[in-house]
Chain A
Amino acid sequence: QLRLQESGPGLVKPSETLSLTCTVSGGSISVRYYYWGWIRQPPGKGLEWIGSIYYSGSTYIIPSIESRVTISVDTSKNLFSLRLRSVAATDTAVYYCARGAGPARDFDYWGRGALVTVSS
């Protein structure tokens, strides 16, 4: 059974960088056709896709925050990561990692989510 687990600091100061890692177990991250994505959900609000990455390193990132986002993959460790620079209170959210059946496809496996609060 595929399992995804987010990890990283739960509190980040404004203007600093949010860093999260998603460790994949029960399957390889280097499987063809699957993309690995980050989705966030501010408290009490809806879902927002941030971006997705293929094991080769190619990425799709939401244009509105693309200048602040880096998504990377480490196939040797079977994990992928999110870095979001210059954070503000509006970046406070539960961050989910998920597996996508393709860049334009559904997310069929999700992590449990990690709450990241931006506050001084």
Chain B
Amino acid sequence: QSVLTQPPSASGAPGQRVTISCSGSSSNIGRNTVHWYQQIPGTAPKLLIYTSSQRPSGVPDRFSGSKSGTSASLAISGLQSEDEAVYFCAAWDDRLNGAVFGGGTQLTVL
């Protein structure tokens, strides 16, 4: 049971826009920024979004992040087949005094 809650799956056709949600609480997302990672099977996670809405260098602007209250979202526009991966959200939890992750969302490009 993950501290942050994500839908187990999401899907969309090429070119469409998909949103993945991440729900937390006042001790994590409510007080701290959210980070998003993309993991292609068999490889290490890759940082996609940091501090809720910032993109590291090299990440396409098709990826965007937002946060409101105790929830956060990752939006992917102009879906491409290469976007098929598992996406994880993460945040610091002040009550646990540690980093917590969501369970991951498997994105399928139809």
Residue ranges of A at the interface with B (Cβ–Cβ < 8 Å): 37, 39, 46-49, 51-52, 60-63, 96, 101, 103-108, 110-113
Contact = CB atoms under 8 A, between A and B. Distances in A.
Interface string B63-94: 00000000000000000000000001010100
Given A111-B44, A113-B44, A46 B102 contact: yes
A62 B96 contact: yes
Given A46-B2, A46-B88, A104-B32, A63 B50 contact: no
A48 B92 CA distance: 12
Nearest to A109: B47
B44 A112 contact: yes
Nearest to B31: A104
29 contacts: A37-B99, A46-B2, A46-B88, A47-B90, A47-B101, A49-B99, A51-B98, A52-B99, A60-B98, A62-B98, A96-B45, A101-B50, A103-B92, A104-B33, A104-B92, A104-B99, A105-B50, A105-B92, A106-B35, A106-B50, A107-B37, A107-B45, A108-B50, A108-B56, A110-B44, A111-B44, A112-B43, A112-B44, A113-B44
Q: Which 6 A-B pairs have the closest CB atoms?
A: A104-B92, A49-B99, A106-B50, A106-B35, A110-B44, A47-B101
Interface of B: 2, 32-33, 35, 37, 43-47, 50-51, 56, 88, 90, 92, 96-104
Contact of A106 (B2, B90, B97, B103): B90
Contacts of A108: 47, 50, 56
Given A51-B98, A104-B92, 7 more contacts: A37-B99, A46-B2, A46-B103, A47-B104, A52-B99, A63-B97, A103-B92
Contacts of B90: 47, 49, 106
Nearest to B92: A104
Contacts of A52: 99
